[in-house]
Structure 1
Amino acid sequence: MTKYGVAIVGGGIAGLTAAIYAAKAGKRTIVLEKQEQLGGRAITNKKQGVYFNLGAHALYKGEAYETFRELGLRLNGSTPSIDAYGMWKEQILPLPTNASSFIQTPLLSWGGKLELAKWFIKLRKMDTSVWNKISIRDWIETQLNDPMLRNVFYALLRTSTYVLAPELHAAGPALKQLQRALKGVLYLDKGWGTLVEELRELAVQQGVELVTGCKVAAVEHQDQKVHSILCEGGTRIEASNVILTTPPSISHKLVPHADQTALDSWTKQAIPVTVACLDIGLRKLPIHEHQFIYGLDQPIFFTHQSRDGKPRPAILSDDGTQVISLFKYQGQQTDAAKDEGELERVLDVVQPGWRNELVIRQFLPKMTVVHDFPHIKRMEDPGPAVTEIEGLYVAGDWASHGELLVDASVASAKRAVSQLLNTREEIK
């Protein structure tokens, strides 16, 4: 039996990142992915020449972006315009994102505009960690005076975190993400599948063994130490270290006696987040100016992500089809038919006549954004080590130590490999 220094369960962004860093450190590394393709929720589906992500994906200039640059990834794409609108009672009104819209928009009073300007100046240099222990709702209600400005900030923070839980989401990480958004985000040409492919190529170059179509049944351990992975079908893979990049509930099921480990509390405290997403390919936009629209009185967001003869945002079709995405940020109760109808009605307001230009559509009724996030009910940040079992680690969007979305996936993967290497040195 071949023995691996590191076995990674899950071939998404976290798994591939962990594999690359483990292999670069000299560890014999294998990745086991249950699907037939790598990438997880970062895959891109090509339909009729249109590149559909699983919902609109934006790369903020945080931990993931810096890591991908460090690894030499190309990250071909563009930064979109900052021009944006707010939707209030089915009216589309400009948000004050530049000098012209700041003066002209009727959305905010002069007092609200001046308060917004003050906070945007403060945000660029503010240490957001001072707000880590309070919720977004508490921050907005105590720090902002103008009622409409509060609605604007609820929309901005909801969009940057993808979470409809202002009473739970920690304000500090959300404000940090908004800081990054002010620097501009990156939309990737031909979708995030290109990022997955670049990570796959780099992993192969580093000697990582990538196995798809392999469903793990159990992480076997004895005497409080990992020793192998059992796959469905009976294949056993010996490994001295295992990194689980699966959701917390799945990780819990894969580890015998997980109820006696930190995996149990991490799973119980996890609050998964979902959105309904309608992706549309149009021959042309009926109203070109409407590129970004934030719902101010309803939890929706509209974004146009594809290039249309201008140097923004990204190439998402082979023939010039325009790709737009609409989100409805969801709470615990969801209704697929109702959500799809609401998104279509929003599109009727934002891009009237869109049905006449329709090429293709993709509706995702309940897409998981993250399996947990930095919320004020957390007892502790998950990982990277499951200390009760030597050689067992976790990574993924849910293993956040304050990072959000793909930043959490990448940062947690690097934490897991770093602690793995440091622990082994201590043992020696």
Structure 2
Amino acid sequence: MTQKWDIVIVGGGLAGYIAANYLSKTNLSILIVEKGKQVGGRARTNKMDQQYLNLGPHALYKKGKAKSILEELGINLHGKSPKLSGILMEDNMEYAAPLAPFELFTTSLLNGKERIEWVSVLLKLMNTDPEKLAELTLQQWVKQTAHSKKVESLLYILGRLATYCHAPEMVSAKVIVANMKNAMGGVLYLDGGWQTIIDQLHNKASLSGVEVKSPTLVKQMKPAQQDHLKLVLSNDEEILAKYVICTTGPHELNEMLVETEQNHFFSKITPVRGATLDVALTKLPNPKRLFAMGITDPLYYSVHSPYARLSDDPKNAVLHVFKYHHPNDTHDRAIVKNELEEFLDQLQPGWQQYVITRRFIPNIIVNQRLPLIGDEQKLQRSKTEIPGLYIAGDWASPHSILADGAVSSGKQAAAEIILNEERKDSANYERRLPTI
């Protein structure tokens, strides 16, 4: 028999579980369909040799939407904030990163005039209304804001750090600057990794009656009779749903839809990608070096374990080395791996003799949408043109990306379904009222 559900959520990641938790407060039947063996999506944390490795570097904005919504749902977030001090590197030269007050006034990267300009630009950044930058690329905004090349470079570094985006000539200044402001408010590295968020959301949803079906892939989705959507699964099983929230990437969603229902905008969306080297060591050869970024090379390095419990042995070190990919570039796996290892060699000479476990992922999707100017007009609501179909995910929010985009769009999709149900109940109640 074809199963019927009030709501089917495609994808058991952050957006899907946020939506499920809000919807679980209703009397609607809810099913999450997850293609992987393990739920969580890119918020998964793998336990490898007693070490907890996120899929690349993950940080939660302390002033972002995701943190406030997770706390609203009663999710416990344990961890600490990393220090702002670190190193910037260029041509084998090292400079103190001018992100904290002491380094700002002592770094040899900037001369006196550039130092004053950088302070002025940071103040301007914090007082900028991102809404007024809707028609600008990040590059255009940087050119308007900074005068010296050094300060321009620092803004691009901060943009990469806050968003993983390495295409200033393409991306929306509105979205990137909003994230830069959030990043300046500090981040949290989470004890046990981001899997702790997923586990709590999963447990709360399960206790409220939400069911999870995995590993199961949705092959096709199309409108059916009686205001339902029909989902065809990988085993050819069919499911009917009044509402579907799709939290997959836009290209996956388009592949599920029959040709007449496909969205041209979805097919044009470009993901944000990078390469990550996730490493656990018995010790750091140089324990004082905890954070570094390249000035012209789009490279990142951070040791997360001093601020979050990421190993069963507190003496171990868990770190991430990352390369931000430009969307137009092609990448040779061996060359990228060598770049990341060489960057780590510079910062932690001899690290290889202390390796407990390591993992290299050459082309990981960090966010499903590179945020471009005008995207928000095409993503105004989570409801699509197909009746009953809603979207959520890190790409589906008009104003946010990364975890903030995933979490806020998951909440919005749930809110719109709840509001629609309330309207239906109100209309049915009015129809039942006796006429006088």
Q: TM-score, normalised by structure 1?
A: 0.94
Aligned to 1:302: 301
Aligned to 1:416: 413
Deviations 1:178-215 (A, max 9, x none): 11111210111111111110110111122111111111
Name the amino acid aligned to 1:43. Answer: R
Equivalent residue for 1:323, pick from 303, 310, 318: 318
Name the amino acid aligned to 1:113. Answer: R
SS in 1 for 2:187: coil
Equivalent residue for 1:239, pick from 227, 241, 249: 241
Aligned to 1:385: 383
Considering only aligned residues, what root-mean-square deviation do their CA atoms show, in Å? 1.7
SS in 1 for 2:47: strand
Aligned to 1:338: 335
Q: Distance in 2 between matches of 1:393 and 1:14?
A: 12
In the TM superposition, 1:16-27 aligns within 5 A as 16-27=17-28
Aligned to 2:395: 398
Aligned to 2:434: none
Name the amino acid aligned to 2:337. Answer: E
Q: Distance in 2 between matches of 1:247 and 1:97?
A: 34
Q: Distance in 2 between matches of 1:157 and 1:98?
A: 17
SS in 2 for 1:140: helix
SS in 1 for 2:418: helix
Q: Does 1:265 align with 2:252?
A: no
Displacement of 1:415 after TM fit? 1.6
Displacement of 1:306 after TM fit? 0.3
Aligned to 1:310: none
Displacement of 1:424 after TM fit? 3.6
SS in 2 for 1:240: strand
Q: Distance in 1 between matches of 2:45 and 2:289?
A: 25
Q: Distance in 2 between matches of 1:115 and 1:279?
A: 36
Deviations 1:384-416 (A, max 9, x none): 1112x2101111111121102011111111121
Q: Does 1:226 align with 2:241?
A: no
Q: Is the 8 A contact 2:228 2:240 kept in 1?
A: no
Equivalent residue for 2:174, pick from 169, 172, 176: 172
Q: TM-score, normalised by structure 2?
A: 0.92
Aligned to 1:355: 352
Q: For residues 224 and 246 of structure 1, do their structure 2 counterparts lie closer, same or farther at Cα, with a shift above 3 Å needed?
A: farther
Displacement of 1:223 after TM fit? 6.3
In the TM superposition, 1:41-190 aligns within 5 A as 41-61=42-62, 62-190=64-192
Q: Distance in 1 between matches of 2:124 and 2:407?
A: 28
Name the amino acid aligned to 2:317. Answer: Q
Name the amino acid aligned to 2:359. Answer: Q
Q: Distance in 2 between matches of 1:155 and 1:193?
A: 28
Aligned to 2:210: 208
Q: Distance in 1 between matches of 2:227 and 2:117?
A: 56
Name the amino acid aligned to 2:97. Answer: L
Displacement of 1:11 after TM fit? 0.4
Q: Distance in 2 between matches of 1:110 and 1:187?
A: 34
Q: Distance in 1 between matches of 2:312 and 2:139?
A: 43
Displacement of 1:379 after TM fit? 7.8
Stretches of structure 2 that go unaligned for 5 or more consecutive residues are: 428-436
Displacement of 1:378 after TM fit? 3.7
Deviations 1:259-312 (A, max 9, x none): x44x522323301111010111112112222211121010111111002xxxxx
SS in 2 for 1:324: strand
SS in 2 for 1:217: strand
SS in 1 for 2:38: coil
Identity %: 33
Name the amino acid aligned to 1:330. Answer: H
Q: Distance in 2 between matches of 1:412 and 1:340?
A: 34
